[in-house]
Amino acid sequence: MKKRLMRLGCTLLMLPAAMAWAGDFKVTLLGTGVPNPRPDRFSQSTLVEAGSQKMVFDMGRGVSIRLWQAGIPMGSINAHFLTHFHSDHTIGVPDLWLTGWLQPPYGRRTSPFLIYGPKGTKALMDGLQSAYADDIKIRLVDERNPPAGIAVDAKEFEAPAVVYERDGVKVSSFVVDQGDDIKPSVGYKVEYRGRSVVMSDDTRLSSEVVRQATGADLLIHEVAVIAPDLLKRSPSFQRIFGHHTSPEEAGTVFARAKPKLAVYSHIARYGDAATPAPPEDAIVQQTRKTYDGPLLLGEDLMQFDIGETVTMSRIPASRNP
Ligand SMILES: [Zn+2]
């Protein structure tokens, strides 16, 4: 028996890396949109599964619904991370926190809701705890849900910093640039067994994203397009568009960083009644002016397997576990 185990051990050591890695590092886009309340693109959220760890980065609208579709119980998420405090990145926090505590199979959190973010994260969670105090009080008495599962463990950091390290998974934060009024604002890099995923967060063209994503397996980047007439006549849209990255600019980030795969999420298309927003196709076309490498326009429930190569599959939206 001992001999057989030793032989098995040697065989595992000799397996090609791709097989040894199969399925141990996955990224699922839970929300690829912006504040627009569209059912096909919920607002920003990304699930990263690496080894034993399940982590959610930003919790926009519908995050709990997409986790349900992905078959991931909310209570099984080990750690949650915020990039900044725009509502399209945080509005799903109370849903995930509160619903994830309920005891049906989709919830079942029994340990504190662990959340990391820049300064402001504790205030957000304190506010939610007072806003929902009556709900929590009633469910503790009535449903007898485990008290530890509704507790909050909010940890703030100042980027750049290594934020989380567990079971070989390392999450680090870096500073991105949304302009002077939107600070703090951070992106994240997740590293696991020699592979990495970088998430840009909302940012203008950022050399820090290039630096972080150089040699990365997967770069998830935001993007924004706007109808040219609207940009010309609207100071408010000039300000909003000024916080984001155009497809041509994102292409220069991808061309310099050369990730194995670049994927757009947080896809912003601005228009109004007089000047419709540019179509989604325009985003890839415009990117091609500056970048000719591997690129996908992200969709909710797209899943990426980070092995020796990066492969994409889709979780069916109709899935009802
Ligand atoms: Zn945003």
Reported as a single tens digit per residue, the pLDDT across 124-173 is 999 999 999 999 999 999 999 999 999 999 999 999 999 999 999 999 99
Q: DSSP labels for 146-181?
A: -GGGG-EEEEE--SSEEEEEETTEEEEEEE--S-TT
Per-residue pLDDT at 1 exceeds 90: no
> How confident is the model at residue 321, as a pLDDT?
64
> How confident is the model at residue 8, as a pLDDT?
43
Average pLDDT on 301-319 reads 92
In percent, the amount of the chain with pLDDT more than 90 equals 81
> How confident is the model at residue 12, as a pLDDT?
46
Report the separation in Å between the CA atom of 117 and the middle of ligand 1, taken as the mean of its atom positions. Answer: 15
Report the separation in Å between the CA atom of 136 and the middle of ligand 1, taken as the mean of its atom positions. Answer: 29
The C-alpha atoms of residue 222 and residue 253 are separated, in whole angstroms, by 11
The C-alpha atoms of residue 31 and residue 23 are separated, in whole angstroms, by 21
> What confidence tens digit (pLDDT) does each residue in 251-288 have?
999 999 999 999 999 999 999 888 999 999 999 999 99
Report the separation in Å between the CA atom of 264 and the middle of ligand 1, taken as the mean of its atom positions. Answer: 13
Report the separation in Å between the CA atom of 96 and the middle of ligand 1, taken as the mean of its atom positions. Answer: 18
Report the separation in Å between the CA atom of 89 and the middle of ligand 1, taken as the mean of its atom positions. Answer: 6
Report the separation in Å between the CA atom of 111 and the middle of ligand 1, taken as the mean of its atom positions. Answer: 29
* pTM, two decimal places: 0.92
Residue 196, token pair as written in the block: 């990495």
The C-alpha atoms of residue 249 and residue 289 are separated, in whole angstroms, by 10
Domains and CATH numbers, the chain: 2-314 (3.60.15.10)
Residue 57, token pair as written in the block: 């980065």
Q: Are strands 113-117 and 161-166 parallel, antiparallel or unpaired?
A: unpaired
Least confident of 95-99, 166-170, 240-244: 240-244
Cis peptide before 160 (omega within 30 of 0): yes
Report the separation in Å between the CA atom of 70 and the middle of ligand 1, taken as the mean of its atom positions. Answer: 23
Report the separation in Å between the CA atom of 145 and the middle of ligand 1, taken as the mean of its atom positions. Answer: 34
Q: Which residues contact 101 (CB under 8 A, 6 or more apart)?
A: 75, 107, 109, 113, 139, 145, 149, 150
Report the separation in Å between the CA atom of 88 and the middle of ligand 1, taken as the mean of its atom positions. Answer: 6
Q: Which residues contact 292 (CB under 8 A, 6 or more apart)?
A: none
> What confidence tens digit (pLDDT) does each residue in 180-208 have?
777 789 999 999 999 999 999 989 888 99
Sorting pLDDT into bands at 50, 70 and 90, what band is 54? very high
Average pLDDT on 69-81 reads 97
Report the separation in Å between the CA atom of 171 and the middle of ligand 1, taken as the mean of its atom positions. Answer: 21
> How confident is the model at residue 108, as a pLDDT?
96
> How confident is the model at residue 9, as a pLDDT?
43
Report the separation in Å between the CA atom of 85 and the middle of ligand 1, taken as the mean of its atom positions. Answer: 9
Report the separation in Å between the CA atom of 66 and the middle of ligand 1, taken as the mean of its atom positions. Answer: 18
Report the separation in Å between the CA atom of 44 and the middle of ligand 1, taken as the mean of its atom positions. Answer: 7
